[in-house]
C-alpha cells in the first residue's frame, strides 16, 4: 500500500507558485485540457498557489515573465510529452514533473522505445516500421496477420486500427499515416491487457482492462461506458509482483522518472508483451493512474501532490540551484 501523506505535515506554501500546463496543439489537446483542469482543481483544493495555462506559441515568454517555482506538466502528445517543453523548462531553470528530455522523447517514440526494451531484455511484440505504401508487402512475410497499426508518435490510441489481411492493412496504414510519417505495424497479441502505474520507485496495483471493442482504442478509453477496469486485476500476488517488477524495469530502461504508466498484454501462454510507456498519463475521470492510486489508498488530491513533490531538473541543468523544494515525504 502507498501511504497518503499526512495533512498535518503539509505546507502548501512550500510549493511556491505552480503552473499547470495543459492543452497545447497536439491531437490529444482535449484530453490534456481535461487532465489539466482536474490537476488544477486538486492543487487549488489543497491551497497550493496554482495557475492553469493553456499552452500556446508564447509559452516560453509567459513562463519567463511570470516566474513560477514549479511546473506540473499535464500536456499529452507532441509538444508536451516528447521532450520539447521539458527542454524549455530545463533552459529556464524551472523544476517540472515527470520524465526528463531524453526519456520523454523516447517514450513518445514507440519504435525507439521498443529498441531500448530489446536491449534491456524487455519482451515487446515483433514489428515493422512502414514509411511508404510499397513497404507494406514486408509485413506478411515478417510478422504475418493479424497486426495492429499505429502512428509511431501518437498517444491515446489515436490513429490505431487492427488489420487481418492485406486490404485492411493498406487502409489502416492510410489512417495512421494521416497522423505520422512513421507507422508502426506490430504483431497482434491476443490476451488480457494490463497497465502498471508507476509513482516514484513503486509500481501501483495492476489494472486489467476489458472492452467489448476489438481493442482498447480511443473510444474504449474515453467514451465507452462498457469498458471495465479490474483492480484487483485477478492475478495471484506472486504473479502480480513479478509483472510489477518487469514494468518498473521497462520504465527505468528508458530513463523515465517521477511518474508514468507502462502498458502490456499477456498472451495465452501468460507471456507478457510490453506495448508502450506513457510519461504524462491522463488524469481524467477515465484515467488509469488515479484508479491505481485509489486502489493503493491514495486519493486524487494526494496523488497530485505526490507527483508535484517529484518536480525536478536534470542534475546537470543548473548545478547551483536546488532541483525542487523537498518539504514532503515523496516515498511515503
- Provide the annotated active-site residues: 28, 156, 222, 261, 263, 276, 278, 282
The radius of gyration of the chain from alpha carbons, rounded to an integer in Å, stands at 20
DSSP string, 7-58: GGG--GGGG-EEEEEE--SSTTHHHHHHHHHHHHHHHHHTT-EEEEEE--TT
Distances (CA, A) of 147 to 30, 126, 181, 185, 267: 28, 10, 19, 6, 14
Q: Give the number of C-alpha atoms closer than 13 A to the C-alpha of residue 315, restricted to the C-beta side.
A: 1
CB 19 within 8 A of CB 72: yes
- How far apart (Å, rounded) are the C-alpha atoms in residues 106 and 116? 9
Amino acid at each position: 500500500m502507498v501511504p497518503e501523506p499526512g495533512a498535518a505535515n503539509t505546507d502548501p506554501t512550500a510549493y511556491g507558485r505552480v503552473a499547470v500546463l495543459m492543452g497545447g496543439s497536439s491531437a490529444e489537446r482535449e484530453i490534456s485540457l481535461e487532465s489539466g483542469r482536474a490537476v488544477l482543481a486538486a492543487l487549488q483544493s489543497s491551497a497550493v498557489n496554482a495557475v492553469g495555462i493553456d499552452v500556446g506559441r508564447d509559452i516560453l515568454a509567459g513562463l519567463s515573465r511570470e516566474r513560477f517555482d514549479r511546473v506540473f506538466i499535464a500536456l499529452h502528445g507532441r509538444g508536451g510529452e516528447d521532450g520539447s517543453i521539458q527542454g524549455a523548462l530545463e533552459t529556464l531553470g524551472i523544476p517540472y514533473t515527470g520524465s526528463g528530455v531524453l526519456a520523454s522523447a523516447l517514450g513518445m517514440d514507440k519504435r525507439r522505445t521498443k529498441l531500448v526494451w530489446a536491449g534491456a531484455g524487455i519482451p515487446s511484440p515483433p514489428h515493422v516500421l512502414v514509411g511508404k505504401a510499397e513497404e507494406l508487402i514486408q509485413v506478411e512475410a515478417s510478422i504475418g496477420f493479424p497486426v495492429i497499426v499505429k502512428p509511431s508518435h501518437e498517444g491515446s490510441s489515436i490513429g490505431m486500427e487492427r488489420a487481418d489481411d492485406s486490404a485492411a492493412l493498406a487502409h489502416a496504414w492510410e489512417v495512421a499515416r494521416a497522423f505520422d510519417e512513421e507507422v508502426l505495424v506490430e504483431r497482434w497479441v491476443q490476451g488480457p491487457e494490463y497497465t502498471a502505474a508507476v509513482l516514484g520507485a513503486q509500481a501501483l496495483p495492476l489494472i486489467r482492462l476489458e472492452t467489448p471493442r476489438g481493442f482498447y482504442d480511443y473510444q474504449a478509453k474515453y467514451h465507452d461506458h462498457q469498458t471495465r477496469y479490474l483492480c484487483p486485476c485477478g492475478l495471484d500476488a506472486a504473479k502480480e509482483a513479478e509483472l510489477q517488477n518487469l514494468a518498473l524495469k521497462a520504465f527505468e530502461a528508458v530513463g523515465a522518472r517521477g511518474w508514468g504508466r507502462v502498458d502490456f498484454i499477456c498472451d495465452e501462454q501468460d507471456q507478457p508483451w510490453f506495448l508502450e510507456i506513457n510519461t504524462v498519463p491522463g488524469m481524467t475521470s477515465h484515467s488509469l493512474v488515479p484508479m491505481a492510486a485509489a486502489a493503493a489508498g491514495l486519493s486524487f488530491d494526494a496523488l497530485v501532490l505526490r507527483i508535484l513533490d517529484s518536480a525536478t531538473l536534470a542534475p546537470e541543468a543548473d548545478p547551483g540551484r536546488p532541483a525542487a523544494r523537498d518539504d514532503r515525504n515523496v516515498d511515503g
